[in-house]
Amino acid sequence: MAFPSLGGPRTYRVWSVTKVVVEKSRSMRKSTTVDGVASPCDAMAQAQRTSVSQKLALLATAGLVAAGILVAVTAPPASVTMAPHARLALDGGIAVDAVPLTAVESAELAQLKPVSNGLSVAEMRQILAYDLDLIRDGAFVPRVFMAAIPSGLAAVQETAARKALFYKSVLPLVLQVNDEILEDRARLDRLGAELSRGAELAAVDRLWLAMLSDRYNVARDDTVTMLKHLDVVPPSLAMAQAATESGWGTSRFTREGNALFGQWTYAEGNLVPEGRDDGKEHMIKSFETLIDSVRAYVRNLNTHRAYREYRDMRAQLRAKDKPLDGRVLAGALHRYSELGVVYVNAIRTMIGQNGLRRFDDARLAQEPIEPAA
């Protein structure tokens, strides 16, 4: 059984013991024969035994399947992760709070191979050798995903060159995350149409809606409200905020923790801000790769109550069939920073002065492009 991830095109496997149990029950059946032919009495007895065996096998199968799921939930092996707070209603009346999911095995994600984070700036230039001006004019963005920003980026003296390298690193990541969301939006839209017709959804779709319901804190059948949450962030807005929060990729948080957007956390093991006020306990969340940071940023905007105004404004633009303008939507992010309106104006200035709105229509190339040798 496959369970698509909320964050993107990922495929998972769920344990199954049904086949093992059925095969075992079959192997226990034996017949009595004379010269290879069963006698009438034996045949009748065999039929009765077979009927009983089948019933017992079905009961054993159902019991072991339920037990297997419960064991998987309560004591999964270390190699699996839990789908948080998802509930799966089984025909037998058992409700499971979480289903164990194994590691990502998607063929699509296998193509998303972040470029090594041990690159020099010279290697970074060679890998990201595409022209931003051509992208603004409609060319596709190469599918090159940087795992980290080279530490030597700060040493690039020419401001325009440093900015271009940063934007070339971040743009493909934002487009990839947006593509994942658009795929999920299409699925959610389809399921909403099926629900409106009174159709019975498949179990995997019901589980997926339950996960979305939990994430966005809305009713499982309220796909309209879910769509307000499950939507993209304009590349111009994401790139402007990444540049502002990370100092064009040169901040300590970006160099040490791939943190592009300065997201706060109180979990141990993250980055402690220098000069943090006494009594403060917040840290800056760190990430394994840059795309993890982008995914967390988009999810933050799509879920946190502080950005409800942003989501409402985005939904209004959708309803009016208007483009999602990063400069317009920035006006709803006055709670992203303690600077409030000053922060909003800074983001809008960043978008305007750097011509970032022209990237809002950018698209990833369909085929991966191998990094230059």
Phi-psi region of 325 (alpha: psi -120 to 50; beta: other; left: phi over 0): beta
Nearest Cα neighbor of 85 from 69, 65, 99, 104 is: 99
Please, what sign has the CA dihedral across residues 197, 198, 204, 207? Answer: positive
Question: Using CA of residue 157, residue 159, residue 164, residue 169, what is the dihedral sign?
Answer: positive
Q: What's the pLDDT band for 69 if we cut at 50, 70, 90?
A: very low
- Domains along the chain with CATH numbers: 18-33+43-107 (no CATH), 121-359 (1.10.530.10)
Say yes or no to pLDDT of 188 above 60.
Answer: yes
Residue identified by tokens 């059946």 is 29
Among 100-104, 289-293, 367-371, which is the least confidently predicted range? Answer: 100-104
Q: What is the DSSP string of 241-300?
A: HHHHHHTTTTSHHHHHH--SS--EE-STTSBPPTTPPTT---EEPP-SSHHHHHHHHHHH
CB 21 within 8 A of CB 67: no
Say if residue 88's pLDDT is above 50.
no
Q: What does the pLDDT average to over 30-43?
A: 39
Q: Enter the pTM of the model.
A: 0.68
First to last CA, the chain: 40
Higher pLDDT residue, 52 or 161? 161
Nearest 5 degrees, angle CA 204-CA 175-CA 160? 160
As beta bridge partners, residue 82 has 100
Q: Given pLDDT bands bounded at 50, 70 and 90, which one contains residue 54?
A: low
Return the pLDDT at 56: 56
pLDDT at 146 over 70: yes
State residue 281's pLDDT score. Answer: 78
Q: What is the CA radius of gyration of the chain?
A: 27
Q: Express each pLDDT in 192-224 by its tens digit.
A: 999 999 999 999 999 999 999 999 999 999 999
pLDDT in tens, 244-277: 999 999 999 999 999 999 888 888 888 888 878 8
Q: Give dist(CA 77, CA 100) in Å, integer.
A: 9
250 close to 153: Cβ distance less than 8 angstroms: yes
- Whether 354 has a pLDDT exceeding 90, the answer reads yes
pLDDT digits (tens, 9 = 90+) for 279-335: 787 888 999 999 999 999 999 999 999 999 999 999 999 999 999 999 999 999 999
3 state SS of 115: strand
CA distance 147 to 290: 5
Q: What angle do CA 164, 170, 174 make, to 5 degrees?
A: 140
Cβ neighbours of 181 (radius 10 Å):
20
Element (H, E) at 136: helix 132-136
The overall average pLDDT reported for the chain is 75
